Structure 1
Amino acid sequence: MLSKRIIAVARGRNFLRPQQLQNASLILTRARVAQFHSSRLLQEETVKVPQMAESISEGTLKSWSKKEGDIVALDEEIATIETDKIDVSVNAPKAGKIVKLLASEEDTVTVGQDLFVIEPGEFEDESSGSSAPTESESKPPKESKEKDSTEPKDQQVDKELPKPPAPSASDKKADPVDPPKPKEQKTPKKEDKPAPVSKGEKSTPAPTPRAPGSRGETRVKMNRMRLRIAERLKQSQNAAASLTTFNEIDMSALVALRKKYKDSIKDEHDVKLGFMSFFARASVLALKEIPVANASIEGEEIVYRDYVDLSVAVATPKGLVTPVVRNAEGMSLIEIEKEVAALGKKARDGKLTLEDMSGGSFTISNGGVFGSLYGTPIINLPQAAVLGMHTIKDRAVVVDGQIVVRPIMIVALTYDHRLLDGREAVTFLVRLKEYLEDPAKMLLTA
């Protein structure tokens, strides 16, 4: 019966008294709120651990970027999962509030596992501790305004609460006066008296001798990437017949060329001209002459490639990674520098993808940036060889019968002796030396 009357009121027929109309509105409002909250509960969504790659089925929940009750935007990062190859970010599928986290940090999580619950919608951020005032709080009642504006000033009533009356003289006399406190007498503490010492007993024990220096130990669990690196390097040592050959390169021409053009290239292309692009270009040309250094073993077959996917070793806080510059044989020096810089930034920011790291036919590792003088790099299987660059040092060398000082870099080529013979490995380094000591040759070689 009540619902019919409410409908009639909605149609403009006034069947309800004012009090009944107010009660009906309150009932309808509560019903809408209840329906809203129930629909919100139905909209809660459980987000699962995403598919990371075909070869990756689990990872370690490294960190939560948000906590329960936090308001998140669409695609905002919620968690980071560490795998043996890359770090995977789990983002919010929609804007809303994080209702519940279903895993703890350092837990092993598998693809498809429930990870967290999100309630979609627009929410007010409660972290600021303040909210916008409601209409009733920000504006005084209409009746008060009208009354104040119509009444004369001498008839308006001050709405502030009356102040309590000041105490009279009689009230003051009635208050009892606190008697003065007697001065506290200091009594000697028992601890102040020295304890009696029995005969033959020392008053203070002799100090225990301490070992010099710190002997603390810290145990840290190896992350998945470090475990994977250890596994791969040991696999390389066990599988490949590794051998390293060395040569030295006079860097005078390259140093002068870089000094001459680095500022103009920086202004025009917004990239820093380094030595990596020259070594990459020289390696590509040397690999054309020694194609087995760009090959790999698969079963009982040798796979030769007519392209060069160049793996560039980059050091990160979690370990060494080798993102790939694809089709380096068709790139200019500037294009190589840009690609290496972009991959290096992604590596340091932890944003490398599996596509960035998969494949690779030849590796260049630059330990010289850390001051390495010599080194024997380890082959990145299934590749056949890896080139190691080192720091540049001024050395006394003989040129045309004269002792002169030249900037010298020692380069190392570690190669798989199952594929490359010593002659081919040495020839590769000789060609590399020729191109880098006379960079014009690189321009004249197709």
Structure 2
Amino acid sequence: MFSRRILSVARSSKVLSHQNAVRSMLSTRSKFHTSARLLEAETVKVPQMAESISEGTLKQWQKKVGDFVELDEEVATIETDKIDVSVNATTAGKIVELLANEDDTVTVGQDLFKIEPGAQGESKPAEKPTEEPKAQKQPEEKKKDDAEPKDQQVDKGTGKPPGPPPPEVEARPADQRKTEKSGATSKKDQPEPKAKEQSVRTAPGARTETRVKMNRMRMRIAERLKESQNNAASLTTFNEIDMSSLMAFRSKYKEEVLKREGVKFGFMSAFAKACTLALKEIPAANASIEAAADGKGQEIVYRDYVDLSVAVATPKGLVTPVVRNAESLSMIGVEREIAALGAKARDGKLTLEDMAGGTFTISNGGVFGSLYGTPIINLPQAAVLGMHAIKDKPVVVDGQIVVRPIMVVALTYDHRLLDGREAVTFLVRVKEYIEDPRKMLLAE
């Protein structure tokens, strides 16, 4: 009877140990599945870009499959007809799949790439045998063990350990060294293939063509310029401005401004200030024609503020970021805003908000050496001022012929909004303010 009880207790303990083993196994599997779920790849979609933009062209992948990215790190760039949109990583992890190719048209909400969340260096649970690191270590240990007896050997004649082995090159047979030397010489004497290719490319009489796909921004610029030519009644008036006074003013204070404000004191700020003052006198140059609120006919919208569009040349085309409320800014304030917008334009970081709106445009083609030009109106604006290069010219001052630095300025205006008298008056006011900058302090 006693032996039967002992046997029963032994059997029950075996059952309990088996149950505990099963529970431990299930717990391990649960943990494994939890970690696998954490490493499941997430799909990143094309983000919302703007109300008026629903698609774009995948310009470039900044990362490739297998690259690790941090949270909010740029992965791809999408080109639209207005700006470049960056697509950033939604989490830190590894790129596991790219779902679109460069130059493909992608739409908002489309799957773009997959990312596997996790810290750098993390990976899925290894399935290889645990003995593998040990097996990799064995050849190194064996190599080390084989090397030890050699280091401990001694010369029978001297009783001292031998010196370091001779260099590998010296240990080779003489004929082998001779062959390598002759081979190196023959390789050196061979003509470089790059030079041969260059001679083919630069052959006289070559007639080559290169076709490049027109990017979305250039297509949009072309569309807008053609729309302006078709819709606006454009007319251009010219005038000459003596830049002597403004150049002396700038030369006297530019170092002080750069040291105190950290911005360069250029001519653009003076023209911007002169234009904002002239626009107060000629409000039609700051107006636009828009559809009536009731949908019947058209209305002229006059504004008591000036959002100044400044034309900036970029590798992709001309863009016009906006200096908001330019009428309330000083010359230094305008320079600071223009410098910030110019830097963003060159780096491709302009946003839609930076370019939206604008009531009047200034374009400075003089920085590229332009002497004359007729700028095109940026619809729905009414006018655009074109600045050009400064050149020394003989002019008559008080009956005497003198040499003065002269800039030719052009105002292209929409004749539907401005009459010739208003347009010419506007340009004359700008001329007066630039030729004597002190007058800008007297203007209200």
TM-score of the aligned structures, taking structure 2 as reference length: 0.76
Give the structure 2 partner of residue 87 of structure 1.
84
The 3-state SS of whatever aligns with 2:109 is coil
Contact 1:252-1:437 at 8 Å conserved across structures: yes
Aligned mates of 2:149, 2:437 — CA distance in 1: 96
1:155: which partner in 2?
Answer: none
Q: Per the alignment, in what secondary structure is the counterpart of residue 377 of structure 1?
A: coil
**What do residues 120-157 of structure 1 show as CA deviations (whole Å, max 9, x unaligned)?**
1102189xxxxxxxxx88xx9xxxxxxxxxxxxxxxxx
Shift of 1:40: 3.1
Amino acid across the alignment from 1:252: S
SS in 2 for 1:308: coil
Q: Distance in 1 between matches of 2:282 and 2:58?
A: 45
Given the alignment of the two structures, is residue 31 of structure 1 paired with residue 29 of structure 2, yes or no?
yes
> Using the alignment, how far apart are the partners of 1:243 and 1:3 within structure 2?
100
Summarize the alignment of residues 367-378 of structure 1 with structure 2, pairs less than 5 Å apart.
367-378=365-376
Aligned pairs for 1:58-69 within 5 A: 58-69=55-66
Verify the 8 A CA contact 1:309 1:359 in the aligned structure 2.
yes
Mark the CA change 1:6 to 1:160 in structure 2 (over 3 Å): closer, same or farther. farther
Aligned to 1:324: 322
**Equivalent residue, structure 2, for 1:343:** 341
| Residues 14-65 of structure 1 deviation map (CA, whole Å, 9 limit, x = unaligned) | xxxxxxx9x999x689736732552134x42111000000000000000000
Residue aligning to 2:403: 405
SS at match of 1:346: helix
1:110 aligns with 2:107: yes
Partner of 1:119: 116
Considering only CA atoms, is the larger Rg found in Structure 1 or Structure 2? 1
Q: 1:162 to 1:340 in 2, by over 3 A?
A: closer
In 1, Cα distance between the equivalents of 2:112 and 2:324? 35
2:276 pairs with 1:279: no
TM-score by length of structure 1 reads 0.76
Indicate the residue corresponding to 2:300 in structure 1.
Answer: 302
Contact 1:290 1:428 in 2 (8 A): yes
3-state SS, counterpart of residue 235 of structure 1: helix
**In the TM superposition, what is the alpha-carbon distance from 1:304 to its structure 2 partner?**
0.3
The residue number in structure 2 matching 1:394 is 392
TM-align CA RMSD: 2.8
Q: How many residues align structurally?
A: 360
Counterpart in the other structure of 1:46: 43
Residues 274-321 of structure 1, C-alpha deviations (whole Å, 9 max, x = no match)? 000000000000000000000000132110000000000000000000
Task: Give me the whole-angstrom Cα distance separating, in 2, the residues matched to 1:6 and 1:72.
Answer: 46
Q: Aligned runs of 1:185-334 on 2, under 5 Å?
A: 213-299=205-291, 300-334=298-332
Aligned-residue offset at 1:242: 0.4
In 2: Cα distance, 1:346 partner to 1:420 partner: 34
Q: Give the 3-state SS of the residue equivalent to 1:160 in structure 2.
A: helix
1:445 deviates by: 1.0
Partner of 2:65, secondary structure, is coil
Seen in structure 2, the aligned counterparts of structure 1 residues 330 and 124 have a Cα distance that, compared at 3 Å, is same
CA distance in 2, matches of 1:217, 1:75: 41
Cα separation, 1, equivalents of 2:252 and 2:147: 86
* Whole-angstrom distance in 1 between the partners of 2:23 and 2:381: 79
TM-superposed deviation, 1:93: 1.1
Q: 1:40 to 1:428 in 2, by over 3 A?
A: same
Relative to its length, the structure with more helix (as a share) is 2
- The share of aligned pairs that are identical, in percent, is 73
Which segment drifts farther, 294-303 or 240-249? Answer: 294-303
Moved over 3 A (4+): 1-8, 27-34, 161-165
Displacement of 1:119 after TM fit? Answer: 1.2
Gapped regions of structure 2 (runs ≥ 5): 1-12, 124-132, 138-142, 151-202, 292-297
The one-letter code of the counterpart of 1:378 is: I
Paired amino acid for 2:258: K
What 5-or-longer segments of structure 1 have no aligned partner?
9-20, 127-135, 141-157, 166-210
CA distance in 2: counterparts of 1:244 and 1:383, whole angstroms: 15
When residues 36 and 436 of structure 1 are mapped into structure 2, their CA distance, relative to the original with a 3 A threshold, is same
Structure 1 stretch 365-374 or stretch 30-39: which is displaced more?
30-39
Task: Summarize the Cα distance change of 1:329–1:7 in structure 2 as closer, same or farther, 3 Å threshold.
Answer: farther
3-state SS of the aligned residue for 1:232? helix
* Contact kept in structure 2, 1:71 and 1:125, CA below 8 Å: no
Summarize the Cα distance change of 1:330–1:24 in structure 2 as closer, same or farther, 3 Å threshold.
same
Tell me the CA shift for residue 444 of structure 1: 1.2
Equivalents in 1 of 2:246, 2:148: separation in Å?
A: 89
Compute the displacement of 1:160 (Å).
1.2
